[in-house]
A and B are shown apart, each in its own frame.
Chain A
Amino acid sequence: MKELSLNILDIAQNSVKAGASVIKIDLDESDETLGIAITDNGCGMTEEQVASVMDPFFTTRTTRNVGLGVPLLKMEAEQTGGGISVESSVSEENHGTVIKALFYKNHIDFIPLGDIVSTVSALIQGAPGIDWVFTHKKGEGSVELDTAEIRAVLGDDVRLDEYEVIKWIEDYLKEGYDSLT
């Protein structure tokens, strides 16, 4: 991938397919590291599935036997000296998955985060019924978005994937990032 924001888009799509109703994307950035955590309350994976999810030739899809999303993220994190972890539960009361990745930003093989605003807007556009909670902590500041708050204002009549709403979300996030720099 050319940008880590594309990996985030890709991994979060797995959470959508897992039937999650809440998906959290947390970025924690310091001068030296970038931590990415994607947390969902989807159907979760068994221990066996978690063990094999790093394998590019593992997928739950039935149409073909290749799943590259998690292995790509793992490779990209490890090539900077970092790594990833996957925790998941299929228990009835507490199912879901957390994927965490740590990147060392000063490593020559670190791939830039890229256009994270487009990733967040594409995710909301594709799955407007899900509660998306996005947080990017950078030094002392942070950019935050919770679609539950937006939905509380919009009510049930207006969907989050209406163009004006998506545009508002993009502009809101861009303003947040402008205020960080």
Chain B
Amino acid sequence: MKSLEELAAIREKMKGKVVLREGSGDIRVVVGMATCGIAAGARPVLNAFVEGVNNEGLTEKVTVSQTGCIGVCQYEPVVEIFEAGKDKVTYVKMTPEKAAEVIEKHLKGGEVVSKYTIAAAVE
């Protein structure tokens, strides 16, 4: 059974990490979670990013957050990636599988996955 002792252990483990995280978050992954996004499948996409970023050990430099309607409802689920000094990248019609590819190539490798961007979708 899950116990509060386990939570206390998480607290002890995280104490050192919290200090490390100060001033980090160089890359922000933002998932649109308004009615349009949720109906189109944003929840599993969000979960895929949260889990994938953790599993790939990227939590020091990548933060995953949620926002409302990004304004292009027909392309939901939409994910925006903000990185200091670079143009914002907007990924559209996302799925957990595409999220895994974006984590691998973009967040880890620094290479934009052009085929999933809004620019490719409107062409």
Contact = CB atoms under 8 A, between A and B. Distances in A.
Nearest to A68: B35
A157 B14 contact: yes
Interface stretch (A9-17, A44-52, A100-108): A9-17
Main secondary structure of the interface of A (DSSP, over half): helix
Interface stretch (A90-98, A134-142, A164-172): A164-172
Contacts, number: 83
Interface string B37-57: 011000110110011001000
B65 A175 contact: no
B43 to A, nearest CB: 6
Contacts of B35: 10, 67-69, 72
Interface residues of B, number: 32
B27 interface: no
Contact of A158 (B18, B46, B47): B18
B10 interface: yes
A125 B59 CA distance: 14
5 contacts: A1-B39, A149-B4, A158-B14, A171-B2, A175-B2
